[in-house]
Amino acid sequence: MKKLLSIFFLVLIIITIAGVAFLGYRLFEGEPPEIVPVKVPDIVGKVAEVTVKVSDSRAGIRLVEAKIIQGKKQVLLGEKAAPIESRWTGSSEKEMVLTWQILPQKERLSSGKATLAISAFDASLRNGSKGNQSILKIPLTIDYLPPVITVLSTVHNVRVGGSGALSFRVNESVTKVGVRVGTRFFRAFKGTDNIYRALFAVPFNVDHPKTLHVEAVDKAGNRAIAGFAFRIFPRRKKEDKINISDSFLQQKMPGFASRFPEVFAPSLIETFIKVNHILRKKNNDFLLALCHKSLGKTLFSGRFIRFKGAQRSDFADKRHYFYHGKEVDQAYHMGVDIASVAHAKVPAANGGRVVFAGYNGIYGNTIVIDHGMGLMSLYAHLSQMNVGVGQEVGKGQIIGVTDSTGLAGGDHLHVGMMLGGVFINPSEWWDSRWIRDHITYNLYLKK
């Protein structure tokens, strides 16, 4: 009997110790919650968001609140309370990820320094059942003022389908800066002299852009716009009639249909129409996307070399395609075709870095050279390519040999130029006087 009583009291003592240990570990523990910033801006504009993760693995989370403190003013961003069914079991919320929106103007906070204070309480019975508290204080800067843009270049005369250049200063650090032309945005690049420089273009199919200005966005999201003096000149529009022969279709279309299933059609002329639409767009989109790989400095110097030969077509010519006397399709020609002798050697028009050398559908074997600041030149319908991606080339260096690969009807070189995701007129860049007056002077503010 005494042995049974001893065992009973021993079990009772163990249960009591376990209960006390549980209460101490879960309900009377003294470890405060942990607050970890997930997304906290250091500069706040008209609107911002803050995200934090709060965790407490023992008593659990009871309450989290966030405030903005500026001087004597305190603004409650919000609070989140966790339901507690029983004080003896604590909170079931062991981890929370919370996001609050900061609207400083609505709360009438001033530009300048402020503090983001985040408090978290756990469900411990300590401190008069208020629980353990953690406070995370993060310094903020409230900024409502947009950047100040000062345009430095003075003469900006641009032809539709052509290019221009601009130099300007910005009085603070920015996250986005450049020239907006209609819906197009041409990125500007900052030099070691703290001057921003941008090349921009007016697309060939935009006679009167609704928007043409400098734009800058600071770290707080404040957006500044600055106009500048400019003149837009019309381009000479030209249309060509091109007859599609059966021999051309038989020579070219089977290869396209086998290589690109999306252009296959019951007849060769239907395949041509698909090539001229579906594949042309796909190939152009690929080429224009290469502009995003451009380096943020000028790699070219002076005028661009024109490939020697007879010009067969101009930039942005509207082509009307006829088959057996009937018009079957239309397309714009985004470059200049120049014919020389068969298998003529092709020089790089200017110094730069090769960003593409390979086969590109209607363009056949193609080389694209980056000249910096979003400007690129392309050389299409080649038979031979003597350079590879990443290779630096000098002005006049032989990079390939002409042929009729792709959709070309005969041996010639298709010369194209692109700027910031837009095809532009190459002929301007062959003119040393135009380069000096419209590009070099505006970029470097000296002739």
Domains of the chain: 30-142 (2.60.40.10), 149-233 (2.60.40.10), 239-424 (2.70.70.10)
pLDDT band at 30 (very low <50, low <70, confident <90, very high): confident
- What mean pLDDT comes out for the span 123-143? 87
The predicted pLDDT at position 46 comes to 86
Mean pLDDT of 71-96: 85
* pLDDT for the residue 17: 52
Q: What is the pLDDT of residue 91?
A: 85
90 or 268, which is more confident?
A: 268
Which DSSP helix (H) or strand (E) runs through 338?
A: strand 336-339
Per the model's pLDDT, the better-predicted residue between 361 and 8 turns out to be: 361
The pTM of the whole model exceeds 0.75? yes
CA nearest neighbour of 336 among 423, 215, 246: 423
Helix residue ranges, H only, 194-289: 246-259, 268-274, 280-289
Model pLDDT for residues 102-121, shown as the tens digit of each residue: 998 888 899 899 999 999 99
- How confident is the model over 289-303, as a mean pLDDT? 95
Query: For 167-173, what is the mean pLDDT?
Result: 96
pLDDT tops 90 at residue 89 = no
- The model's confidence at residue 269, banded by pLDDT at 50, 70 and 90, is very high
pLDDT tens digits along 179-231: 999 999 999 999 999 999 999 999 999 988 989 999 999 999 999 999 999 99
pLDDT-derived band at 3 (thresholds 50, 70, 90) equals low
Mean pLDDT of 147-169: 96
Output the average pLDDT for the chain: 91
- Integer CA distances (angstroms), 111 to 45, 104, 141, 207, 321, in order: 9, 9, 7, 42, 62
pLDDT tens profile 372-407: 999 999 999 999 999 999 999 999 999 999 999 999
Question: For a pLDDT cut of 70, what percent of the chain falls above it?
Answer: 93
Question: How far from chain centre, in Å, is Cα 254?
Answer: 38
| Stated length of the chain | 447
